[in-house]
Amino acid sequence: MTLYCATTNPGKLREFRLAAGGSHAAIRIEPVPGLNVIPPPAETGRTFRENAVAKAIYYSRFAPGATFADDSGLVVDALGGAPGVDSAHYAGPGATDDDNNQLLLERLRGIEERAARFVSVIALAEDGRLIGAFEGVVEGWILEAPRGSNGFGYDPLFLYPPYGRTLAEVSPEEKLAVSHRGKALRALLEFVARLSSPSPGARNGG
């Protein structure tokens, strides 16, 4: 089956396809047709979940089947949860990953307590109706200087202590095995796989 994905972020799409290609090869992930010309909805939610649900419901009206959208970002304890839902535009509209990383380092200058987590919520909808929402979290620590060139966004500053490396220093497979998006996506794929293959008991009416 095909799941339609409402993201224009190439880093996210790569990660989604990598995760589905593993244990769920029967599920294909395609961008929502014509995604680039669909006016994006305003992301006005105050939580990742609100934004993911709103995007999934909105984009599912433009897709021929079940559609998922994710909202994700970095939550830093010492900054009261910032950048949070503003992660993509932390340094302002049109900010690049570098701009956002520089601002994060500035805001954390001189602060020793640098615990942080990435959060991803993936919502699934069809024909404008919400079907489910799945959350994944990965805990880490913000370094004082970037390390590594893989991944995207805040990965070069995000140390994942069990690896002793940032998420920009690990392979895409290593990142996905532990990341917020990997966890949320696996929960989504397991849910969809269960829905599309009813148990023998269910088929027998039991």
71 included as an active-site residue: yes
Q: Which of helix, strand or coil describes residue 123?
A: strand
Question: Can you point out the beta strands (E) in 14-81?
Answer: 28-31, 67-76
Query: Should residue 136 be labelled a site residue for ligand IMP when binding is judged by CB under 6 A?
Result: no
Among 72, 125, 159, 176, binds ligand IMP (CB under 6 A): 72
* Token pair of 37 as six digits: 């010309």
Indicate the residue among 16 and 118 with the shorter CB distance to ligand IMP: 118
Residue nearest to ligand IMP (CB): 153
**What is the DSSP pairing of strand 2-5 with strand 28-31?**
parallel
Describe the strand order of the beta sheet including 129-142 as a list of residue ranges.
Answer: 28-31, 2-5, 67-76, 115-126, 129-142, 158-160, 165-166
Identify the active-site residue in 70, 71, 97, 155.
Answer: 71
- Print the binding letters for residues 156-175 with ligand IMP: x by CB under 6 A, - otherwise: --------------------
Minimum gap (Å) between residue 165 Cβ and ligand IMP: 14
- HSE, CB side, 13 Å, CA atoms: give it for residue 190: 8
Indicate the residue among 25 and 42 with the shorter CB distance to ligand IMP: 42
Query: Should residue 54 be labelled a site residue for ligand IMP when binding is judged by CB under 6 A?
Result: no
